[in-house]
């Protein structure tokens, strides 16, 4: 089953807006940061609390040891356990067991219901350290305990002291703390997302104004430009690129409308001539000879029109990149000789000498387009060379390719015209140009052909003396 493109497009999820993306990203960063900081704080608090508890535990054992030292005998513990139980006053979670050297129980606080495990006992007279505190598993949760030998009375009778503590209250505190951290994390991430959304939306205002301006631009309002001076750096670059694009578009549209105007103007002249001649001829009866003369004259105009249309089409195809280049290894000397032979009769007619000066040279070019380019230059040269002058065709190898030159003696081209002669419909001296043969397209076609080849065209002209057009082709890999 085939799916219609519209249906496919409808099914594709819409990409998230930049604002939402930044907001989500900010909130993800906030979650990661809160998680890392929260875990660190939780860990620090847990270890600090455990250490404080252990210090308290060994402090209590030291205190119990001191109390025991002041008692006359182990039996005194049984008779009066108060000094020891008072030492644990306020610490309901502490469990104390004191046993005599023979293992008989001398004291057990009420909570000590389960037998405490045997752990290594700290010998008498050695002070307790944190390393003496061990883990212990009560009925619920976890616990810590320490076991030491205490000495009773002046004669130092040993008794076993075991002090343990449940940590369930501590675990509860830590659990509450973790819940608080989690709530803070959720609130923080939400706040970061909302703030991010608001900030990005605010910053996007500039972008929206750019979009507004872009929407207002059409071919008749191409002179609008974005003001980039006070824009943020990121938008400034975009604005500059946008303005540069508008410059190019404006230039292109101007040239296009100029081109259309010139084309219309140049087509109008021959069409008007044809119209007038035909109307005059039809105004009264004519002889066959007169009709023949009219048709012969019209035929010339038709030829000119046809050539103009063909040239304009050629340029349009080059512009639209529809013209393919067919490169071949071409013998340049033979090619120039062929052009020479083609134009020789025309040159002879106007008293111009046509010469070829080229060594054997090969280049990878499109032979048809090359003929057209050089042909246009030679036809211009012959037209602008006074009788008795010379037109030269030459070729030479250069450092990175080949260069063809078409030179002619004659009045040359004035400096002010040089920058324009390659423009479409430009004629240096329209008044003097032979209108029937000149449309001002020849050189723009030569330039277009050179651009297609990746080559260059340039001109040197000495007014009153000579003009030389150079076509340089860069070496292609397979020359
Ligand atoms: N060899 C030259 N000597 C003096 N002027 C030249 C020479 N070649 C070109 N020009 C000037 O440059 C202008 C542009 O030449 P281009 O070949 O584009 O147009 P054109 O010859 O007038 O018309 P088209 O070639 O379309 O029939 C010419 O009108 C002419 O004034
Ligand atoms: Mg020409």
Higher pLDDT, 299 or 203: 299
Q: What residue owns the CA closest to ligand 1's atom 25?
A: 442
> Looking at the predicted structure, is the pLDDT value of residue 268 above 60?
yes
* 152, 74 contact by CB (below 8 A): yes
> Looking at the predicted structure, is the pLDDT value of residue 479 above 50?
no
Q: What residue owns the CA closest to ligand 1's atom 9?
A: 380
> Looking at the predicted structure, is the pLDDT value of residue 477 above 50?
no
Ligand nearest 406 Cα, by number?
1
Mean confidence (pLDDT) of the chain? 86
Task: Please name the fold of domain 21-173.
Answer: Beta-Lactamase (3.30.450)
**Mean per-residue pLDDT for 12-27?**
81
**Mean per-residue pLDDT for 259-275?**
81
Q: How confident is the model at residue 379 (pLDDT cuts 50, 70, 90)?
A: very high
pLDDT, position 61: 92
Most confident among 76-90, 248-262, 325-339 (mean pLDDT): 325-339
pLDDT, position 404: 96
* 361, 395 contact by CB (below 8 A): yes
Domain 328-474 -> CATH class: alpha beta
Rounded to the nearest angstrom, the distance between the alpha carbon of 379 and the centre of ligand 2 is 6
168-216 helix and 18-70 helix, angle to the nearest 10 degrees:
160
pLDDT, position 476: 62
- Ligand 1 site residues (CB inside 6 A) read 376, 380-381, 384, 408, 410, 413, 421, 426-429, 433, 437-444, 467
Domain positions in the chain are 21-173, 233-319, 328-474
pLDDT, position 1: 44
Which residues sit with Cβ closer than 5 angstroms to ligand 2, an ion?
A: 380, 442
Cα 438 from Cα 379, distance rounded (Å) = 11
DSSP codes of every residue in 348-410: HHTT-EEEEE--S-EEEE-HHHHHHHHHHHHHHHHHHSPTT-EEEEEEEEETTEEEEEEEEES
Write out the two tokens for 475.
Answer: 């070496």
> Looking at the predicted structure, is the pLDDT value of residue 301 above 70?
yes
What confidence tens digit (pLDDT) does each residue in 61-113 have? 999 999 999 999 888 888 988 888 888 888 878 888 899 988 888 888 866 55
Rounded to the nearest angstrom, the distance between the alpha carbon of 322 and the centre of ligand 2 is 23
Distance of CA 249 to the CA centre of its chain: 23
pLDDT, position 349: 93
DSSP codes of every residue in 111-161: T--SPPPP-PPBPTTPPP-GGG-EEE--SSS-EEEEEEEEEETTTTEEEEE
Ligand nearest 428 Cα, by number?
1
Task: Please name the fold of domain 233-319.
Answer: Helix Hairpins (1.10.287)
Q: What residue owns the CA closest to ligand 1's atom 2?
A: 381
> Looking at the predicted structure, is the pLDDT value of residue 269 above 50?
yes
Q: How confident is the model at residue 2 (pLDDT cuts 50, 70, 90)?
A: very low
Residue 125 CB contacts under 8 Å (≥ 6 apart), including other chains: 151
């Amino acid at each position: 089953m085939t799916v219609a493109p519209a249906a496919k497009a409808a099914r594709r999820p819409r990409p998230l807006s930049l604002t939402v993306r930044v907001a989500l990203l900010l909130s993800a960063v906030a979650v990661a940061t809160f998680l890392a900081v929260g875990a660190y704080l939780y860990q620090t608090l847990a270890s600090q609390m455990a250490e404080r508890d252990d210090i308290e535990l060994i402090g209590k054992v030291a205190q119990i040891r001191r109390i025991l030292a002041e008692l006359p005998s182990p039996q005194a513990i049984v008779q009066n356990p108060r000094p020891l139980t008072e030492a644990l006053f306020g610490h309901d979670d502490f469990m104390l067991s004191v046993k005599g050297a023979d293992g008989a129980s001398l004291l057990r606080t009420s909570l000590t219901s389960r037998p405490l495990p045997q752990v290594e006992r700290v010998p008498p007279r050695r002070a307790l350290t944190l390393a003496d505190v061990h883990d212990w598993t009560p009925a619920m949760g976890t616990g810590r305990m320490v076991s030491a030998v205490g000495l009773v009375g002046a004669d130092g009778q040993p008794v076993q002291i075991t002090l343990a503590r449940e940590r369930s209250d501590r675990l509860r505190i830590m659990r509450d703390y973790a819940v608080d951290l989690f709530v803070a994390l959720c609130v923080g991430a939400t706040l970061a997302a909302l703030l991010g959304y608001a900030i990005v939306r605010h910053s996007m205002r500039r972008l929206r104004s750019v979009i507004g301006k872009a929407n207002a631009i059409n071919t008749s309002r191409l002179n609008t430009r974005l003001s980039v001076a006070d824009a943020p750096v990121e938008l400034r670059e975009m604005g500059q690129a946008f303005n540069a694009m508008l410059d190019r578009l404006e230039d292109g549209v101007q040239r296009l409308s100029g081109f259309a105007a010139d084309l219309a103007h140049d087509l109008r002249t021959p069409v008007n001539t044809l119209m007038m001649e035909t109307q005059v001829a039809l105004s009264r009866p004519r002889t066959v000879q007169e009709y023949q003369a009219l048709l012969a004259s019209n035929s010339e105009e038709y030829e000119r029109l046809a050539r103009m249309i063909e040239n304009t089409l050629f340029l349009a195809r080059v512009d639209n990149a529809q013209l393919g280049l067919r490169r071949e290894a071409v013998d340049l000397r033979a090619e120039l000789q062929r052009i020479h032979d083609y134009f020789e009769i025309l040159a002879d007619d106007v008293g111009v000498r046509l010469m070829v000066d080229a060594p054997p040279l090969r280049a990878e070019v499109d032979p048809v387009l090359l003929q057209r380019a050089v042909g246009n230059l030679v036809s211009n040269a012959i037209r602008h060379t006074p009788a008795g002058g010379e037109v030269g065709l030459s070729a030479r190898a250069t450092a990175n390719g080949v260069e063809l030159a078409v030179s002619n003696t004659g009045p040359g081209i004035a400096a002010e015209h040089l920058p324009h002669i390659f423009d479409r419909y430009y004629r240096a001296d329209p008044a003097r140009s032979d209108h029937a043969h000149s449309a001002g397209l020849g050189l723009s076609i030569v330039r277009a052909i050179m651009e297609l080849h990746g080559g260059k065209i340039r001109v040197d002209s000495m007014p009153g003396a000579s003009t030389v057009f150079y076509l340089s082709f860069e070496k292609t890999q397979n020359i």
